[in-house]
Structure 1
């Protein structure tokens, strides 16, 4: 996929490198008055794109699922009277057709739709031959391939004016976030498609108003291109996602504090200093790899010892000891213990794999079959 085209909606916006791309508006269009009141306030903030959900995919029935078609007419009024570009979520081919009839400027595909290739393909088919920008949210689960697949389906329909929206991922683990950021996934997406704009949705990641600013700044610090922030004139009375919406005044405060970092060093002395530090990091990484190799060699030795003495691979008390002591060592060294715990989970999984392989070596019942199958 090639996103180098300079004559696109997102490329034009990203040319304004002094500020991030800003998409804002209510989670749901609730009334014509609410939509117009919000849009009028956001126009004063020079928001690039006014957003509002018309069809709301909810987890359970008998909850507010959006106002439907009449909401499109309200967005059309925002566009006509205020001159703002507008966007809404589509989940079916029919949604696409209705949005196009009302002249919606940009469409987005939500997380619950991205997770379903059949639904994404239906949308792609409806977009065939249409020239409109499309934003694709990540799927609910942390699956980069599924996210890329959804983008590819829309791209193959002829839509090259594309952006990705990072809104976090569902998790059963307790967290301060509504949806875990799992930053390595959008970073990997950005690494693979450097010209694909990545917009962060801190409202859905955080789930609460107080997390929107720090999440937005962190995203910009990591090279994300913009923010999508849910904004409502009276969040406490919002019919959906009340806790994560902000007022236009709060949005103005958030935007005033956001800093867009330079994409690179612009001074020779800074370049030289950065290169010096990078060389030191490379040397430290080389030592880390060497230490890991030494550790794995010891793991193989203990695996052989367990095999000779018919001892099972997993020693639960040893597992507990490692996770307790390594976290303590990390804290003493000024390193985040939680980070070290996650690191040692990976190390321990690889250690178990190596020892299990040693245990099974030479056992004909577990040896992989590399012989060609006989014709039946």
Structure 2
């Protein structure tokens, strides 16, 4: 374990706001953390690369001066932020930043990582490398190796999940736990942290993701904490307050000490709840399409019930169910119920009842 990422007998915890929004917000966040949930390092988003332009992209260098103020008041506190350009590294070195992380949008680009590694050469900054957006363990490993080859002694990996287009998973970024497990097999001495905030995309998933990471032997966590999450300018749904963090860490400690069966059962139930939410949303989307189909059938003087289409659909769905290991009878009953509701909606529209 590298020195800066080592925490005696407990996970290494990094927490703080997704973005630094104001001097007061940052000071309030640090004060609440010190009171409710002391952490090993404070994260603070100085620069915020957004997927699309137009959103809040951080305050940049002025926010670093507020970090300096906090360091003077709390000299034992350590701070970290994301860097994407060599000039970001230079600014961090001129202020009280102890560690930086290379984000998912940057770690997948060897040219960008190479430039950052060169800027980090000879510095005292610790570096964390988030997994690339793509689920490519070699690309992630390569980014880490570039940082190590620059002579950085304190390096860690952060698992924040992978983006898959319409993957049917409730999380913002799919965990794909096998990828960080393989990274650990290749680099067994590298500290591995979990970022459940970006992985889940909503605070409701934090506990389940953190407990899974604990079971897999992760060394720590990076969690987004805001003094008033509902007012956050970025990623408000995935942020929690310091009291919420304390409760999470208490549950995690219980899990680590006792391996509580109720906690494990709760993880599975949370996963079922999340899947049910997606099922309900998908069903609503399906019935909305049925309404549009009814309007087209009405305009073309077609009947709501189309036997040939129904029989072909059933054959396809039952074949798909068997391939997925599902019972054909269950799938037939399920689709007969869905089809009956779809026909009811269509007939109501075609008879001008909706």
The TM tier, using the shorter chain, reads 0.7 to 0.9
Instruction: Give the TM-score taking structure 1 as reference length.
Output: 0.68
- Match in the other structure for 2:21: 30
1:78 Cα offset (Å)? 2.0
CA distance in 2, matches of 1:169, 1:235: 24
1:95 alignment partner in structure 2: 88
Q: Tell me how far apart the structure 2 counterparts of residues 206 and 170 of structure 1 sit (CA, whole Å).
A: 11
- Pairwise CA distance, 1:55: 0.5
Aligned to 1:168: 161
Return the offset for 1:40: 1.0
Q: Residues 322, 240 of structure 1: CA spacing in aligned structure 2 closer, same or farther, 3 A cutoff?
A: same
Contact 2:160/2:194 (8 A) holds in 1 = yes
Contact kept, 8 Å, 2:318 with 2:328, in 1: the verdict is: no
- The SS at the match of 1:96 is helix
1:46 aligns with 2:38: yes
- Could you report, residue by residue, the CA deviation over 1:101-135 in whole angstroms, capped at 9, with x for unpaired residues? 00310111110110111111111110111122100
Kindly report which structure 2 residues correspond to 1:129-278, keeping only aligned pairs within 5 A, or say none: 129-172=122-165, 173-259=167-253, 261=256
Tell me the secondary structure at the aligned position of residue 258 of structure 1: helix
Q: What residue number does 1:9 align with?
A: 4
Question: Which residue does the alignment assign to 2:280?
Answer: none
Please give the secondary structure, in 1, of the residue aligned with 2:157.
strand
Q: Does 1:125 align with 2:118?
A: yes
Q: Which runs of 5+ in 2 are unaligned?
A: 258-313, 330-354
Residues 322 and 328 in structure 2, CA contact (< 8 A), matched pair in contact too: no
**Equivalent residue of 2:15, what SS?**
strand
CA distance in 2 between partners of 1:328 and 1:50 (Å): 46
**Residue matched to 1:63:** 55
Give how far 1:28 is off.
Answer: 0.2
Aligned to 1:283: none
Query: 1:329: how far off?
Result: 5.8
Q: 1:324/1:80 Cα in 2 relative to 1: closer, same or farther (>3 Å)? A: same
In the alignment, is the contact (CA less than 8 A) between 1:43 and 1:82 conserved in 2?
A: no
1:318 shift after superposition: 11
Change (3 A) 1:102 1:138: same
1:46 Cα deviation from its structure 2 partner = 1.9
Q: After the TM superposition, which residues 325-344 of structure 1 pair with which residues of structure 2 at under 5 Å, given as runs?
A: 325-328=322-325
For these two proteins, the number of residue pairs brought into alignment is 269
Residue aligning to 1:73:
65
8 Å CA contact 1:23–1:228 kept in 2: the answer is yes
Aligned to 1:366: none
SS at match of 2:158: strand
What corresponds to 2:352 in structure 1? none
Aligned-residue CA RMSD (Å)? 2.1
**Which runs of 4 or more aligned residues in structure 1 lie more than 3 Å from their structure 2 counterparts after TM superposition?**
259-262, 317-323, 326-332
CA distance in 1, matches of 2:45, 2:249: 22
Aligned 8 A contact 2:230 2:236 in 1: yes
**Counterparts of 1:319 and 1:331, CA distance in 2:** 11
Alpha-carbon separation, structure 1, partners of 2:223 and 2:4? 19
